[in-house]
Each structure stands twice: as C-alpha cells, then as structure tokens.
Structure 1
Amino acid sequence: MSGLSAENEQKLQQFKEVTNYNEEEEQDKVLRLLRVCNWKLDNACARYFDNDFPTLLDDEALSREIPEAAGRPPMDTPPPSEPQFHFDDRFLDLIPKLPRAVTISNKWKFQVGLIHSQDITRRGTISVLAPVVFVLMLFPRLLWVIGWGLDRILGSIFPNIFRFLGYREGPNDFPNQPRYLTKEELSENDVKKLIEDTLGEPSDLPIFKGEFNDAFTKAKAESRWLMCILIKSDSEPSKRFIKAYLNDQHFIDFINKYDVVLYIGDVCYPEAHEVGKTYHAYSLPFVNIIANVSPVGTTMPSMSIVSKYQSFDTDFKYSPEARRRLVRRLTRVVEKYEPQLIVQRTEKQEVHFARALREQQDSAYEESLIKDMKKQEEKKKQKLEEERKLEEERLQEELIERRTRLRKAAIARYVIEKYERDTSSWVRGEYTTIQLRNDKGQRVIRRFSKEDTTYDVFMFVECKQYLLDLTEQSGRSEKDIIEELSSDDFNGIDLDSFENEFRFDLILPMPRMRLTPNKGELIASVKELWPNGSLLIERTENDDYE
C-alpha cells in the first residue's frame, strides 16, 4: 500500500490474517487504529475485537505527537481524506465519554448443573450485619438518621457500603448468585411466559428470543437500540414492575416506534445474572439502554450505555405519572442520539445498495458474457452449418456434374455404337420391331437386335429424347448434334459400372406392365416385345433433363 513502509505493510498483513476485517469498509479505521497503537499488533487486535476504534481526537493527537518526538514528518501517515476536528490538547480529557457496553462472558454456561446453597446470600449478610447494627445503636439516633439519609442519596452510587452497614437489604437487591442452575430448571426459563402469567393475559412486547450477546450483536450490526431489562421472578417489586411498566401502552409504543431490540432476563438464571454482574446492577428491576453512538458525534462511535435506571423501590415509581416520565426520559435520550444511528443505517444501506448494485452489475455483466458466448457459439454453429451446407451443395453439384458427364458419355457411346447402326440387312427372326409412343402422340418405330437388352431400349429412348431436346434448344439438326457427340473426348470415363437414372417409364399396354431397364435381360426373352411390341413412354415427376 502506498505510504507505508515494508515493515508496516507486513504488520498490516498480519493484522488482516488475525482479524479478517473487511478491507473495503474498514481499511481507513484499521490504519488509524494501528497508528494509534504505535503498530503494536497485540494492542491493536485487542482493541479491534473490543470495537475500541480510536477517535478522531486520538488520531489528531497522534499526528501531533509523532512529529514532535521524531523532529520530522511521519512517514506512514497518509494525508487526511476527511476534514479533521482540531481541539486544544488541554481540553481533551474534558470531552465526555459514555460508559462502554460490552458482551457478557460465557463463563455462566459452565455453572449449569452446579448446585449452590440457596440461602447463602441473606444468611451470610445477616450474620455480619447483626453486630454492626448493634454497634451503631450505641451511637446517638442522629447518626443513624444521617446514615439513612445518606443511603437515600448515595445508596445507588455506593450500594455495597450501605448494604454492609445494614441500610440496604430487601427484595430489590441484586442476588450474589443465580438460583436455578440445573438443566431441568434452565429448560423452564421463559421470560415471555413469566410476563404473561404475571399479567394474566398475552403481552404485545416484542421480546428478543435468544441470548444477550446475540441481541447485542444484532443491535450493533443493524444500528438499532438495545434495551436490557433485568427482573427477579420471585420478587414482588419485579412483578409490580411487569404489571406497571411492561404492560404500559406508552412503553410498548416507544419500543415499537424506535424499533428497539428488547432483551428481558430473569436474574434467577445464570445468563441474566451474568448480564447484571457485567453491567453492575445492584437493584432490581434494572433497565439500561445501549447503542453504538458517541457522546459528541465527532468521535468514533462504540457500543455505549446511554442511560440506565434501577431505582424502583418506592410506590411513586409505579404510578402512571412515573411511567410517563420514564417514557419521556427514554424518548429524549433516544431522540438525542437517534441521528447518529440514522446516519449509520443510511451509510450501511448505501454500502448495501452499492454492494447490491455491484453484484447486480456483475451479474448483468456475467449474463452479458454468457449471452455473448451463446451468440458466439450460435454464430460458430451457424457458420459451421453454412459451411456444411455449402460443402454439401458443392458435393451435390460435383455429383450432378459428374453424373451429367457420365450420362452424356453413355449417350454418346450408345449413339456411336447402336443408334446410327444400319438395320436394313437384318434377317427376320434376328430382330424385333418396337413401336414407341410418348404422351404427346409422337411415335417412333425401331428395330432392336435379339442380342439387345431391355436396358438398350431405355437408352434408345434416352438418346432420342436428348437429341430432340437439343434440336429444339439449339435449332441445329440431329445429324450435327450426333457429329458433335462423336467428336467429344470421353476417354478415361468408366461406364461399365454406370447405371443411368431414367426419368421416364416404359409401359407395356396389353397387359399393362412396367418394363425395367436390365443389362442382363435380353429383349428376346420378353414375349410381349418379341417378335414385335409396343411401348408407351410416361415421364416421371422429376423429369429435368440437362
């Protein structure tokens, strides 16, 4: 890649092999991450998998620190392609940051099947609290009232301290461990059913079906809000929360309006308990809302806890006014950061559309290539077919020409040998007289020797018709045509195996029968033609004489 040294290019390639990041979409972010991590692959890979990409401020600070430390411009920093946001280094630490939201560890899955003491949470606490309470009772009542007041004010911030001192203990507290761990108990974990059983009617809440990490990944991938609600199935405040909040139509409309991925977990089960530990839930019910946003919109977005609520320990919290107030607060928080998610979704849609368009273009290009290939194949087949037809036509023409020449040679030989022979000296009994008549009424009487065959009769008709046709076409006499045939050179033509295809039939009238041309059948053996006979000439359909 241009602008990088050989060593950094090698590190970039190693980073790609480890993370398998999307080079088209994340190349700039990865380069910035590597530069912020000073090209240390361990730190860069850890931050990549934690989605802890450096912000524009980090990049800006890095671009300033390197030249100052080295005394020369950085070699591997390409010129910025986007406008950089400049802040005074003295105020970098004052920029607010949202608490990071992370996926939970999978170690909760290893607790399945393990049986723990069910009463260890409260019994251990009470045994410790008893002497503490006794000691505190020795002090003036004012000190106890002050502690109680501090618990009301700071109890949500330092819950463990006030719980240790005995000020916090109740059904709202987050348990130290899950209650249900056996496979049979885990198979009964159905939050949707728990809510509907508590409400006594079907619920319209679009609760996510799956693990928390799946909901987290879905919200991040689709740039949507993730709301995590933790309840305790055996706690009365959680049941009141279900009836008051999860059945509130304003709350349901809020979830549907902003297309929130809603995860609800029961901390009596290992997975939801792990979620509570990860997100430091000290009181139940617990509600937090997570999104892939940044506090100021100019830094790199990350999955962050935008807001959380876990103080539902008073009756006022379950009043209609409190429910509407919570929905209004959630709406304000969502509307504040929703533009960032809209931008992310828009960018993802643009990338998706661009990818779809590219795939469509590639598909269209491939289809075009396939069509072109088919056209080329069709053209090739058509060309081969045309060449084949031309070759067949050429061979057919050669065959016709050859047969025409053979026919002409056969006619010329017959003319020379038998057509012009003198029959006046023949003695009766050595010949037969045959009358030949065509369809036009023309009649010819011809003597044939007893040694002639039926094939010779056909050849005579063939020669006679050939001479008549040439006479009509050229206007020359039959004698001139015979002389021309006699002068033609037909040497080298083998006529012994040639069988002329006659385009007429010779019919014996009484009884009517068709005479066949046979070089081995003598006329004397045909009693209808010996010592005399009559034949009708009937032309066939393919009567195209050359």
Structure 2
Amino acid sequence: MSDDLTADQQEAVVQFKSITGIENDENDDKVLRLLVIHEYNLNNAISTYFDSGFEMAETANTYSSGAQVHHDGQLHNRERTASPPRHSPTPPARDNIMNLQQQMFMDNLMPRFPKAPTISNGWQLEVGIHTSLIHEREEQQKKLLENEEDSESTISVPPTVVDEGKERRSPAAALWVLLLILPKTIWNILVSAIRFLFGLDTTSGSGESSKLSRTFNFDKFHPSYRLLDQVNSWIKKTELIKDDETLAEKESFEPEDSSTLVESNFNISESDFNNAHQISQREYHWLLVILVNDSVGCKRFVRELFANSGFNELFNKNSGTFKETQIFISNVERNREAFEVAHVYKVRRTPYIMLVGNVSPSPDIMASMSILYKSNLSTPFVSNDYEARLTVIKIIKNVNKFLEKFTPQLISARYDRQEMEFSRMIRQQQDDAYLQSLEQDRQKKVQREKEEKAKHDLEISYKMRQYYLLNLVKYDFFSSVTTTGEDEDKFRIAVKLPSGKRLVEFFRKSITIKEFYMFIELKLFVEELLETQGAEFEEITHIIDELIADVGLPRSLQEQPLTLEDYCVKYPFKFEVIQPYPKKVIVANDVKISEAPDFKGANFLVEFTCEDEDEDEDEEVDEESEN
C-alpha cells in the first residue's frame, strides 16, 4: 500500500479488502485504481467489483485528480474522435460513470459514527528496550543480594565504638548507602505520603488522578504484569478500602457470585488489541474496550462490572446473548499497548469503557469499525461501591440499547459474508472440478499416446522380424547350416516339429546351437508362410522380393539389418528343443554342435513354450472376427 495515501484512503482500501475477502497484497494496485475511479466511494466500488471484478480497473485510464477529467474538454474530445489502437480495448468514458450517492446532497449531512482505527506498532520498540533493561537490572539485584548474604555469613564484625567525628565527616557517604539500600518503591511511598500530608494528594474527589498523562511512565512497567490476575482477586474481595463513608454501603450491598475466573467466562484479553479489532471486524462481532489504572475507583468499577448479572447475561461466552463479543481490558499505567490505545482514541480519564462494532448509522453508508458508545468516568462516579454499582448499571443499560439496535445489522452482514463464502466455495469447487477434468483428459491423452506408441513399436518390431526372416529365406540360410550326404563333416539329426512333421537333415558340425535354433525358427516361419500364401516353397522363392517389399519396413530401418545375436535378444525363441531319452532341454547358446555330445545322431522334439498364450490369443482373434 502506498505511503502517499491519506488515513481515510488507507481505511477505504482496508475496508474494501475486508468486505470482498481479498487476503493477499498482490491486488492492492487494482483495488486502489478501482477506488480512484469511484472517487473512494466504497458502495460503488464494491458493487462494481462483484459485477465485473477488476475489469474496469484494468481497462480504464486512472488520473491523479477528478478535476482534470471533468474540466479538460480537449481530452474528452480526443477520446471521442480518436480511434483506439486495435491491440488494446477502448477505455470507458468517465462521463458514463455515475456516482448516484454523491449526487444526493442529503447524504453528506447524515450523521456518522466516530471511526475506530487500529493502533500502530511503534510502542513495541520501547517495550522491548525497557524489558531488556528490567531483566538486566533484576539480574544485577539478584547477584547483589547473593553477595550480601555470602558476606554476612562469612564475615563477623566485633562490636566497635562509633567515632562520631568520622560519622559527621561523611554524611554524603551515608546518604549514598541509604539510597542504594532503599528500593525505589519505598521512595515513591514516602513521596506519596508527603503529598498527602500537605494536601497535594490527587486521589481526592477532584478526579485529577484519573486523567491520562501525556507520556508513559516506565517506572511502573513490568513485562510479567497481568491485569487479569488482579481482576480475579478484585472480584473475590468484598471491600477494597475501609472508611466510614463506604462501610455502611458495603454492609447493605454484597457483590454477586464471581468465584470463577474471568478468562473462563468471557472472550477477554489484555494484549494484542489489533488482533481483537481484526477479529471483530472480520467476523462481525462486538468489541468492548475497558481501560483502567491503579486507582481504587478503577478497581471498584471493574469489580462491580464483572460481578454484575446483567453484564454476564450479555457477554458470558457460554450463555450470554452476545457471547462472541471480544473484551479488551488493560491498565494504561502498566501496559504500554493500553496507553497507546488510550492516546489513539483520545481517552481523557479512566476508567474508560467503549463499544466498537463494524456497523453504520444508515443503510446508505458503508459499514466500518465505529465507536457506538464511550464513557470517560470521573472519580465521583466510582468514589464508593454504591456509586460504582449504580454507574455500572447505567452503563450496561446504555450499552444494551446499542447492542439491541445494531445487532441485526451485524447478523445480516454475517449472512452476507456466509453467502459470499459459499459462492466463493462453489466457484472454487467448480474450478477444481474443471482442473480435475483437464488433468483426467491429459492423463487419457498421455495413456492414449503411450498405447499408440506401444502399438507402433509392436508393429515395427513385427515388420523387422518379417523382414529379417524373409531375407534369410532369400539368401538361402538353409544351405548355410545344412550339407549334402557326401560331406563327412556333418551330423545327421532328426527333428519332429510341433505340427508332427519330421525333418531329417545333415547339419554342418561348425554351426552353433543358436544357428540350429534359427534353422528351426525359419522352418516354422516358412510353414506358416506357405499356409497363408497357399503356395509351394519354389513359388515363394520366386516372389520373395515382392513379399519383402510388402512388409513395408521404413528404409532407415532396412539400412540397419539385424544380426543373429540381435534377433535372439529381441525376439526370444518361443519353442524348446528337447532330447526325449533321457529328457533334456537343449539350451540355445554359442557352443558348436560338434562340441555338444547330444547332437551326434540325435532325435529331437520341438515344443512351444507359450502354447497356452498362443491359443488364448487365437481365441480372442476369433471372437473379434465373429463380432
């Protein structure tokens, strides 16, 4: 938020963000532009935001002052005559923006509640400095006391005769020792006694003691001070002072039952005023501020206030009519934050009570944190228990009138906020559903692409296998592994294929077992090819080039032919070569058949290893063809 804004303009920005539910600071510039367009009128700015968002703030030209827009005729003429660039939308004319509320003269005469702002945080630096000083002083006093105790226990001084001459010669030293020994509180008591004896005491009926000082006295400040603990003790006491004037009244009036702690009965705090202020503003709850000092009158007032049954009926957080009310109570003489609150709200004297709410005196005025009721009580109104009790009754009666009058406005604002939250939640759910749908579509697209790629890879793999096997047939792979019966460097091997066909061939001894497997693989492929083509092997050899061309393998892959090792790795054999007696599986490897003892005059069986899977695939193909 810019530092050039006035306090009213900053308050307007805060109110706009609070009502519209904007929590981050990223849209502060847009909020400010929208308020400038409507000349900081919250009603029209918020109405425009809920109608079209920040569209007007993003498209309209904003100016530093309204007079320039209304009186610069040439500027309007240029806007009406000049055509806008094609790449940017035409900004709306300022003459078309009508501020209906400011056209009504009587609206300016409507009474308004005093504003209830938050306090600055500048006082926290002073508190931090004095807190560190207090802790340091306490540590020094603690060490001093320990040293004095040690010296008293270890050193025994014999009785001596005091030299009066020496004592008279050092009065300053004796006074210095006296000042060191006596604590500061004793000197304050002595000074107060002297003021009282000479008629300078400020606790008498003049009420001057209740006036707020201009500066905070840190002599009474201590970081561990808690007013609520003292409030609990005040409530439990039947009398705070003893004098003839109030004794009879105390006997006739007994405080009401207040045996429980105030923290368990009320939403009360003695620090963090801004937090209570923000909660009341955001949640549309009441804020009750009570400021006191150390005087007996303030103690009477607080005791009678919390002991009053009407106060409990209104603000008890368990059973009160306005149980959500935030109560801030603090001591202006011992709490620097309370002193800051008193100066911001221009408190003249204590005890002080104030009712704050996010309301407005008229429906035509935008609601804001305002002071509905405040009372600076002078000393006569709390001079004794009877007067304090009557004062509390009158205050509760007046506060209750404002509560009953303006609570419906808060309830209506809560419902409006709930509706806004519901609509925002619905929009969020719709956005989440839309994003989820996009994510599902993206996942489906990725899955479809994966399936298409897998299908394409499978198709390429199938074509590469066909291309490789057809080229083996073309270049007569059978002749490279078999020989005629006249060659002596050979083995006669009989192989029974899964189809029942029996092959008897003479194989070269120099071939490996993998090449023997490749011979069977190619035989099975040729059988399948002959069956599909319905031709003899000699006819297939004549049209082998056409069959290779029909495979449709890309030329880039044709230029990268497979080797036997590559084929065995990429296309594992789906059959096994088995020796019947004794039953043994011949494993495909690079060992020559001449070195394998099982190949000489062998009879082998060929069995498929994935026969069941092939049958299932055939059944699925048949079902698809039938459908």
Decide: shared fold, TM above 0.5.
yes
AA of the residue aligned to 1:98: F
- The alignment status of 1:386 with 2:455, answered yes or no, reads yes
Q: Tell me the residue number matched to 2:267.
A: 206
- The number of residue pairs the alignment matches comes to 417
- In structure 2, relative to structure 1, the CA distance for the partners of 1:260 and 1:453 (3 Å cut) is closer
Deviates more, 1:267-276 or 1:345-354: 345-354
Report sequence identity in percent. 20
Correspondence for 1:33 among 39, 43, 51: 39
CA contact (8 A) 1:245 1:323 kept: yes
Correspondence for 1:247 among 307, 310, 317: 307
Separation of aligned partners in 2, 1:505 and 1:100: 98
- In structure 2, relative to structure 1, the CA distance for the partners of 1:410 and 1:360 (3 Å cut) is closer
Superposed displacement of residue 396, structure 1: 1.8
Q: Tell me the residue number matched to 1:262.
A: 327
Separation of aligned partners in 2, 1:519 and 1:96: 108
- Which stretches in structure 1 are left out of the alignment for 5+ residues? 1-10, 37-61, 130-162, 491-496
Q: Report the aligned-residue RMSD.
A: 6.2
Superposed displacement of residue 543, structure 1: 10
Q: Tell me the residue number matched to 1:493.
A: none
Residues 277-328 of structure 1: per-residue CA shift (max 9 Å, x gap): 4434444321111123222232233332211233633644444x76555434
Separation of aligned partners in 2, 1:433 and 1:266: 114
Superposed displacement of residue 342, structure 1: 3.0
Residues 133-157 of structure 1: per-residue CA shift (max 9 Å, x gap): xxxxxxxxxxxxxxxxxxxxxxxxx
Superposed displacement of residue 391, structure 1: 1.1
- The alignment status of 1:189 with 2:207, answered yes or no, reads no
Superposed displacement of residue 454, structure 1: 8.9
Correspondence for 1:100 among 102, 108, 115: 115
AA of the residue aligned to 2:366: M
- In structure 2, relative to structure 1, the CA distance for the partners of 1:441 and 1:473 (3 Å cut) is closer
Superposed displacement of residue 197, structure 1: 2.7
- In structure 2, relative to structure 1, the CA distance for the partners of 1:489 and 1:542 (3 Å cut) is same
Q: Tell me the residue number matched to 1:169.
A: 206
Separation of aligned partners in 2, 1:109 and 1:528: 97
- In structure 2, relative to structure 1, the CA distance for the partners of 1:31 and 1:340 (3 Å cut) is farther
Q: Secondary structure of 2:330's partner?
A: strand
Q: Tell me the residue number matched to 1:377.
A: 446
Q: Taking structure 2 as the reference length, what is the TM-score of the superposition?
A: 0.49
Aligned ranges 1:296-445 → 2 under 5 Å: 296-309=362-375, 310=377, 312-313=381-382, 315-319=385-389, 323=392, 326-405=395-474, 409-410=476-477, 418=484
Q: Secondary structure of 2:266's partner?
A: coil
CA contact (8 A) 2:578 2:607 kept: no
Superposed displacement of residue 188, structure 1: 3.1
Q: Taking structure 1 as the reference length, what is the TM-score of the superposition?
A: 0.55
- In structure 2, relative to structure 1, the CA distance for the partners of 1:212 and 1:452 (3 Å cut) is closer
Separation of aligned partners in 2, 1:187 and 1:365: 54
Separation of aligned partners in 1, 2:302 and 2:539: 122
CA contact (8 A) 1:287 1:308 kept: yes
Separation of aligned partners in 2, 1:179 and 1:489: 108
CA contact (8 A) 2:271 2:337 kept: no
Q: Secondary structure of 2:38's partner?
A: helix
Q: Tell me the residue number matched to 2:152.
A: none
CA contact (8 A) 2:115 2:371 kept: yes
Q: Tell me the residue number matched to 1:276.
A: 342
Deviates more, 1:274-283 or 1:198-207: 274-283
Q: Secondary structure of 1:245's partner?
A: helix
Superposed displacement of residue 527, structure 1: 13
CA contact (8 A) 1:229 1:264 kept: yes
- In structure 2, relative to structure 1, the CA distance for the partners of 1:486 and 1:34 (3 Å cut) is closer
Q: Tell me the residue number matched to 1:231.
A: 292
Separation of aligned partners in 1, 2:210 and 2:585: 123
CA contact (8 A) 1:508 1:536 kept: no
